[in-house]
Amino acid sequence: MRIEPEIVTLGECLVSLVAVEHGPLAEADTFRRHVAGAEANVAVGLVRLGHPVAYIGRVGDDGFGTTILRRLRGEGVDTRCVRVEPDGGTGIMFRERRAVGPSEVLYRRAGSSGSRMGVEDVDAASEAGLFRNARLLHLTGITPALSPSCRSAVGAAIEQARAANLQVSLDLNLRRRLWADEEARPVLRGLVARADIVFASVEEAAVVAGNGSATAMTGGDPASRAAAVASALLDLGARRVALKLDAGAAGSYAADRPAVVVPAVPDVPLIDPVGAGDAFCAGYLAATLEGADEAAALALGNACGASVLGAEGDLAGAPSRAEADRLRRFTSGQSIR
């Protein structure tokens, strides 16, 4: 018997080849294969926490597409609306690992099957009944950056979600290797205006919020900067805003009344930070769907993010429910602002 999805998401799932050794990409000669893609990471994170997810997208009819499908299905993600393109190719990314500073990413995804998703994929998902009993549509700012057809697919998914009374969550996930801030800003602002829950780092939120909040980025403590950009996103039309402070290292912030700050899980060994933001979204969304308040949702998000930091790969460290609940105990010291 098929379990109906509670969450629907769409995007490009890629194979990520992650350097085994730390150092610059130019020196990397051995890579390990992982499944990646922000929405897929959130999907796996939610399923591991006990919330059924359906994924909409495309992969090529090649070995990497098979890897992705096996992984998603093995995790229990509903892939009935993932199309395998006979004439396509699965997107690939290469990722170096740095002990210090940000890691470089090399995309090989232009024209990939994932980037050829379009409105017809969303229509097919609707006809398959994916939206009928779901509660939430999760989107990221990566998908509209991939191609005009992907951008239209995101718009169509929001329309389907609205018609079926789903909430919409959006992680800004600004990817500067895919588009310039000037192109991204109006598109992401339009999506923020239609979202119920918006996730972002403070820096991404400032870019999307526009000039006014650039000033807010220069002064004050992290929570005041978070408050400034969160209020800009709320003004754009978002109903709830959850921010990662210092990429999650300083915890997270929700623009509630009053606002809530929950510190990060302390002393987490940093093996691989990529995917931690997606795990944060999964934890926050799971808790929210369970009726938790903002502080509890941030705490579960922080716990899931911390778990991903400790494992190589974009989704490998996403915790089970029991693991997340254990970690959550270390992140409950909330402060109210």
Residue ranges binding ligand KDG (CB under 6 A):
36-38, 41, 142, 175, 274-275, 277-278, 314
- Closest alpha carbon to 104 in 204, 19, 180, 207: 19
Choose between 126 and 301: whose C-beta lies nearer to ligand KDG.
Answer: 301
- Which residue is it, tokens 């995804």? 109
What is the rounded distance in angstroms from the CA atom of residue 63 to the CA atom of residue 266?
A: 39
Choose between 36 and 157: whose C-beta lies nearer to ligand KDG.
Answer: 36
What is the rounded distance in angstroms from the CA atom of residue 147 to the CA atom of residue 178?
A: 10
Phi and psi for 239 in degrees, rounded to 5?
Answer: -90, -35
DSSP string computed for 197-261: EEEEEHHHHHHHH-HHHHHHTTSS-HHHHHHHHHHHHHHHT-SEEEEEGGGGTT-EEE--SS-EE
What is the rounded distance in angstroms from the CA atom of residue 12 to the CA atom of residue 92?
A: 10
Choose between 253 and 280: whose C-beta lies nearer to ligand KDG.
Answer: 280
- Nearest approach, Cβ of residue 35 and ligand KDG (Å): 9
Report CA-CA distances (Å) from 144 to 36, 124, 211: 17, 19, 22
Phi and psi for 22 in degrees, rounded to 5?
Answer: -75, 145
Report CA-CA distances (Å) from 245 to 13, 119, 272: 26, 35, 18
Classify 162 as helix, strand or coil: helix
Report CA-CA distances (Å) from 31 to 12, 246, 313: 21, 28, 11
- Nearest approach, Cβ of residue 9 and ligand KDG (Å): 12
Choose between 36 and 262: whose C-beta lies nearer to ligand KDG.
Answer: 36
Q: Which residues are catalytic?
A: 278
- Nearest approach, Cβ of residue 218 and ligand KDG (Å): 27
- Nearest approach, Cβ of residue 56 and ligand KDG (Å): 15
Closest residue by beta carbon to ligand KDG? 36
- Nearest approach, Cβ of residue 137 and ligand KDG (Å): 17
What is the rounded distance in angstroms from the CA atom of residue 317 to the CA atom of residue 304?
A: 8
CA atoms within 13 A on the CB side of 8: 31
What is the rounded distance in angstroms from the CA atom of residue 23 to the CA atom of residue 100?
A: 9
Choose between 109 and 126: whose C-beta lies nearer to ligand KDG.
Answer: 109
- Nearest approach, Cβ of residue 37 and ligand KDG (Å): 4
Look up residue 15 and give its two tokens. Answer: 């194979």
Choose between 113 and 126: whose C-beta lies nearer to ligand KDG.
Answer: 113
- Nearest approach, Cβ of residue 293 and ligand KDG (Å): 26
Yes or no: say if 42 and 286 are a contact pair by the CB < 8 Å rule: no
Choose between 150 and 168: whose C-beta lies nearer to ligand KDG.
Answer: 150
